[in-house]
Structure 1
């Protein structure tokens, strides 16, 4: 254990993944709507059936590719935009991820540093030996006041990491946290939009001062010089402030600061630091040293060293493949509607009668995406059925998780009445898995005109509808995105 360097025993990140929604909105469209200047580039936009919880699940699924889920002992979910005020998002996520019943799941919230706070807690848990493998997921989709700079700068996204002692791809060499009480970025209990103080005060006495302190402090603690850092990862509120910090501390912005994702995705709140880390790990080479930072009422900093195992992970989507898979949101008005800021005329309502008890009883299929395979005749069925409708065998089946499987469209219809008024066409889809299990689900993240028989589709966790005063989550299908299995 490298206590003299403020570091830790041999352990660290064992896997990583990310999620960026398919939709992108050009900042020029936002600027044009308000007759103001554009900050250039585009931002990611969660679909109308997505939220921080569904995005966290998607990032965690990407991270868990090729891993034994039974080995995950803890799930830490970080967000400032949880769907519930009083209900654990991590409990829903752990169930959707089909983790074991004995998993310790908990939420980290109310701070832009909640993502790195969860990361630090995972480090401590593994270092202490209380758990062997921890899954950390961070996700956010914050709302900014219309016409503000933040409306353009903000984006939606998620990242996930696993930490443990086996097959480590990046070791944690040192960490440092700084507490700084300052009212610069906040949201009150009844606020819909993020508030921000006067920009010069926020940057000079908040971000700039604290980032200089935490980066300088961790370099001093670890005995390293700026020139020994391969990549400096700063979750910056804009395209300039982090460059000023880096230059003042002796870093070379051209060679040591990678893409901040601000121009292509936007600032993704609590998830953004971990998204930068995932992006860096995707192209990192063994021996590189990464310095990760985050800001929010203080700052966190971590020194990580990349190991040989980084090249041995199974293929995943991560940041790069999600950036390549994009759909253009056609208008600023649709963005406002997706975010619930602009109320449109209601579409044909779902005629459903949600039940909390039924939702709990059937969660193996609803949340865990389990089907059943008959032990007598081998028939695969979704959802789980006690009686095989092929051979009529009763209670003689094994459960199968289908969330990671890929199917092909058998039949579909473009329903013009089932959707929202801002997204009226719903592609009702019947598709078959390779083992013959047949699914009937709605298709999302698609151009309805491109639906066709034989189209490869995958499953995605979404908010299906609102009813009985709680969020109803279920699975939908979407056209297979690049990087899929």
Structure 2
């Protein structure tokens, strides 16, 4: 028996208005006006598939410091930042997992997220599966409107957990509906009717039927059917073909999020887990050079996420500036000014020596005095007791914090000016000077509750090396609680 013990999800706060996109491109692509309803999730400039996967994993794992129960880590994405560097290793370091875990990257297909989850479920032990996607699309294309950015994560165990695995089915066939070369930034697609009729309709049902056979269920037994597709009505059509009840077909979140590639099946599964009643069955399937299908039964147990899909979608800010979207995704050349003209080569030796500090946001706490500091040093900063070699690792990432002082700087280079940064103080001690993200001018003030988020610090564009660190972002749940308390 194996199952999902906990799950989490993440969607960027920004939501790009499709109407803004279609209006900006009406002169060249008036046919896109029909797609101008709703919004799609839009990653900030300092977010990518990996950072979003880390945030989803944090949602699944919860705030506890002890994560030694995780034996394996699977990171799945078709848009991972590195082709020859273990992306899962970066995720592991950010989450401060044990060095002894097994870690692997799963990629190469839009179904790789479900493939990673299925593999973790049958491999035994306790594993973390983190799936993130951040695809780029050409301006004035249908994909620009259909795509969305997001992530999901699952903790799987040998017990039933919150959802027990009942069956799994797979089909592998080199059906090329689209592809992206190793030196290409965009997907290349074939004709939609061929993809639908020769690909999805013929390859997905056998995978689903196999999963149902293993589970010992009939199609009519399914209570929640999750199938992501940019083709309108595709999930309902499949359900009718297979014999799944129409009311079991779940909303694919296209109107509020878009389609998040290999992460979208897992996101829909996470959403179903949030709403499924005890004993209900969930079937999730995804297409991509074949198909992957998994069947679960909800148990009502396990750990529910603090935010989940519902919370992630509720935390939103509409973005109508189409030019900002193009800039954040590197789709236009713009004058960054002289202050951006610097060599961002990373000292890999320094990165490795300070890995837990940079990627894990780990500082130190003096064993003798309990004084907390960042960074960790041999000599404690405790007043009147500069003890030597008394520091033990202390994780800051899950600690509550607030802004002590700040600046909104238009002189330093920023992808989203002004550059907000300030002194952040933590409950329990410690303070760090750090960047503040996901804010607009006027949002930051002294005392603002913030939480730590794993983000891109900067990019060495000459060598293609992405540097990561932690930033402060408004803790909107804490802000809402403060506002409600003040109103009483």
Residue in 1 aligned with 2:324? 334
Aligned mates of 2:348, 2:305 — CA distance in 1: 38
8 Å CA contact 2:169, 2:209 repeated in 1: no
Is 2:18 aligned against 1:23? no
More deviation in 169-178 or 346-355? 346-355
Residue in 1 aligned with 2:308? 318
Within the candidate set 469, 472, 478, 1:474 is matched to: 469
Is 2:166 aligned against 1:173? yes
Counting only pairs closer than 5 Å after superposition, residues 53-68 of structure 1 correspond to structure 2 as: 53-65=50-62, 68=66
8 Å CA contact 1:153, 1:267 repeated in 2: yes
Is 2:361 aligned against 1:369? yes
Within the candidate set 39, 57, 62, 1:42 is matched to: 39
More deviation in 211-220 or 357-366? 211-220
Shift of the alpha carbon at 1:379? Answer: 1.6
Is 2:399 aligned against 1:405? yes
Aligned mates of 1:166, 1:481 — CA distance in 2: 34
Aligned mates of 2:402, 2:478 — CA distance in 1: 17
More deviation in 58-67 or 319-328? 58-67
Counting only pairs closer than 5 Å after superposition, residues 274-289 of structure 1 correspond to structure 2 as: 274-289=266-281
Aligned mates of 1:221, 1:381 — CA distance in 2: 54
Counting only pairs closer than 5 Å after superposition, residues 175-214 of structure 1 correspond to structure 2 as: 175-214=168-207
Q: CA RMSD, aligned part only?
A: 1.9
Aligned mates of 1:401, 1:181 — CA distance in 2: 45
Aligned mates of 1:200, 1:337 — CA distance in 2: 33
TM-score by length of 1: 0.92
Q: Unpaired runs of 5+ in structure 2?
A: 482-488
Shift of the alpha carbon at 1:315? Answer: 4.5
Shift of the alpha carbon at 1:398? Answer: 1.5
Within the candidate set 138, 141, 146, 1:148 is matched to: 141
Residue in 1 aligned with 2:78? 80
Aligned mates of 2:442, 2:231 — CA distance in 1: 38
Aligned mates of 1:133, 1:442 — CA distance in 2: 34
Within the candidate set 380, 386, 390, 2:372 is matched to: 380
More deviation in 361-370 or 32-41? 32-41
8 Å CA contact 1:239, 1:262 repeated in 2: no
Residue in 2 aligned with 1:440? 433
**How many residues align structurally?**
467
Is 2:233 aligned against 1:240? yes
8 Å CA contact 1:316, 1:483 repeated in 2: no
* Secondary structure class of the residue paired with 1:371: strand
Aligned mates of 2:215, 2:426 — CA distance in 1: 52
After superposition, the C-alpha distances for 1:240-283 in whole angstroms (9 at most, x for unaligned) are 22221112223333x21122111111111111111011011011
Aligned mates of 1:354, 1:363 — CA distance in 2: 13
Q: Unpaired runs of 5+ in structure 1?
A: 1-9, 127-131
8 Å CA contact 2:129, 2:155 repeated in 1: yes
